[in-house]
Amino acid sequence: MATDSTGVSRRAFGVGAAGLATLGASQASAIPAKPKAIPTGKPFILTTWDFGPGANAIGWPMLAGGGSALDVVEAAINHVELLGDYWVGAGGVPNEVGETTLDAMIMWGPTHDAGAVGCLKRVKKAISVARKVMEATQHSLIVGDDATRFAARMGFTETTLTSVVSQQAWDKWAAKGEKSDAFKSEPIGKPAKLAGHDTVGSIALDAAGNLCVGCSTNGREFKIPGRVGDSPIIGAGAYVDQAVGAAVATGNGDVMMRFLPTYHAVELMRGGMEPKAAAEAAIQRITDAGYEISGGIAVIRRDGMHGGAQTGWEKAGFSYSVQTAAGNVKTPVP
197 binds ligand ASP (CB under 6 A): yes
253 binds ligand ASP (CB under 6 A): yes
Contact (CB, 8 A) for 297 and 261: yes
Question: Which one, 59 or 253, has the nearer CB to ligand ASP?
Answer: 253
Least distance to ligand ASP, CB of residue 252, Å:
6
Q: Tell me how far apart the alpha carbons of residues 66 and 54 are, in angstroms, rounded to a whole number.
A: 20
Q: DSSP letters of 53-88?
A: HHHHHHHHHHHHTT--HHHHHHHHHHHHHTTT-SSS
Catalytic residue among 48, 101, 199, 324: 199
Which of the stretches 111-119, 169-177, 195-203, 317-325 binds ligand ASP when contact is defined by CB under 6 A?
195-203
85 binds ligand ASP (CB under 6 A): no
CA–CA distance from 17 to each of 10, 28, 330 (Å)? 18, 11, 47
Q: Which H or E run contains 306?
A: strand 306-311
- DSSP state letter for 5: T
Q: Tell me how far apart the alpha carbons of residues 309 and 275 are, in angstroms, rounded to a whole number.
A: 10
Least distance to ligand ASP, CB of residue 143, Å:
13
Question: Which one, 214 or 219, has the nearer CB to ligand ASP?
Answer: 219
Contact (CB, 8 A) for 331 and 308: yes
Q: Which of 59, 94, 187, 229 binds ligand ASP (CB under 6 A)?
A: 229
199 binds ligand ASP (CB under 6 A): yes
Q: Which of 128, 202, 231, 242 binds ligand ASP (CB under 6 A)?
A: 231
Any bridge partners for residue 203, and if so which?
46, 213
Q: Which of 109, 232, 251, 304 binds ligand ASP (CB under 6 A)?
A: 251
Least distance to ligand ASP, CB of residue 224, Å:
12
Q: Which of 74, 81, 198, 280 binds ligand ASP (CB under 6 A)?
A: 198
Which of the stretches 72-80, 114-122, 213-221, 310-318 binds ligand ASP when contact is defined by CB under 6 A?
213-221
Which of the stretches 9-17, 56-64, 70-78, 225-233 binds ligand ASP when contact is defined by CB under 6 A?
225-233
Any bridge partners for residue 107, and if so which?
114, 213
Q: Which residues contact 252 (CB under 8 A, 6 or more apart)?
A: 187, 192, 194, 197, 220, 291, 293, 294, 295
**159 among known catalytic residues:** no
* Total chain residues near ligand ASP (CB under 6 A): 14
Q: Tell me how far apart the alpha carbons of residues 188 and 203 are, in angstroms, rounded to a whole number.
A: 31
H helices present in the chain, as ranges:
17-21, 25-29, 52-64, 69-81, 126-136, 144-153, 164-174, 253-256, 261-270, 275-288
Which of the stretches 192-200, 298-306, 311-319, 322-330 binds ligand ASP when contact is defined by CB under 6 A?
192-200
Residues that bind ligand ASP (CB under 6 A): 103, 197-199, 217, 219-220, 229-231, 250-253
Kindly list the catalytic residues. Answer: 199
